[in-house]
Amino acid sequence: MITVNAMGDACPIPVIKAKKALQELQGPEVVEVLVDNEIAVQNVTKMASSTGGDVTSEKISEREFKVIIRTDRVMPRTEVKEEEVVCHPDRRSDTVVVIASDRMGEGNDALGAVLIKGFLFAVSQLDELPKAILFYNGGAKLTCEGSDSLEDLKTMEAQGVEIMTCGTCLDYYGLKEKLQVGSVTNMYSIVETMDQAGKIIRP
């Protein structure tokens, strides 16, 4: 693994450092980019995705983020100029996604589990990410240990998406100690977040 330290660097420097590291690869490799803000995560992610790399990211602390780029493609070596790198604005919209079940739709439960995983992955690939994703009732299971969607949720959280799970629901299912991403919230905050949303999406 190659580590690129872009902590404290303003855009476009994190993107330039990451792109140079990718161009220096001789073959399949993993590049880890460390940054200190969500906009940098968004811009490095967008650049890496455009090269065909498999990109995930994670919020380590309030001012520490990690972007992981896995690639098996050798990029052409060209000079990376600062003025040629575009810094994109915040990708988050005022949309809130509400997840009330660990299944999507009615009918076969196994199919429903596959569909909700696909849904959350699709949300993570939107050009404009939601500002928050709310999980309650059975949906609370998706933010906990064993969930197939944790990687996608952590990637969105690192890009500034608020991942909020109902505390009452976690208690009911005995999952409070197994929460793996985001924060615990209450019904007042859930209602307030939905009330302030420009658009609400319910799968």
HSE of 105 in the Cβ direction (CA atoms, 13 Å)?
13
Question: Given its phi and psi angles, is residue 45 left (phi above 0), alpha (psi -120 to 50 degrees) or beta?
Answer: alpha
pLDDT at 74 over 80: no
Extract the tokens encoding 110. 């196994």
User: Which three-class secondary structure state does DSSP give residue 184?
Assistant: strand
pLDDT, tens digit (0-9, with 9 covering 90-100), for 122-147: 999 998 999 999 999 999 999 999 99
Beta sheet of 132-135, edge-to-edge order: 183-185, 162-166, 132-135, 95-99, 199-201
Task: Tell me the pTM.
Answer: 0.81
CA-based nearest residue to 148, from 172, 114, 99, 98: 114
**pLDDT of amino acid 81:** 57
Range from 1-10, 51-60, 96-105 carrying the lowest mean pLDDT: 51-60
Rounded mean pLDDT of 34-59? 91
Q: How far is CA 152 from CA 24, 116, 149, 189, in A?
A: 28, 12, 5, 23
pLDDT at 83 over 60: no
HSE of 65 in the Cβ direction (CA atoms, 13 Å)?
28
Residue 62: pLDDT band with limits 50, 70, 90: confident
CATH numbers and ranges of domains, the chain: 2-84 (3.30.110.40), 95-201 (3.40.1260.10)
Task: Please state, rounded to an integer, the average pLDDT across all residues of the chain.
Answer: 91
In the residue annotation, 166 being an active-site residue is answered as no
Which residue out of 11, 144, 166, 169 is catalytically annotated? Answer: 11
User: Which three-class secondary structure state does DSSP give residue 161?
Assistant: coil
pLDDT, tens digit (0-9, with 9 covering 90-100), for 99-110: 999 999 999 999
**pLDDT of amino acid 178:** 97
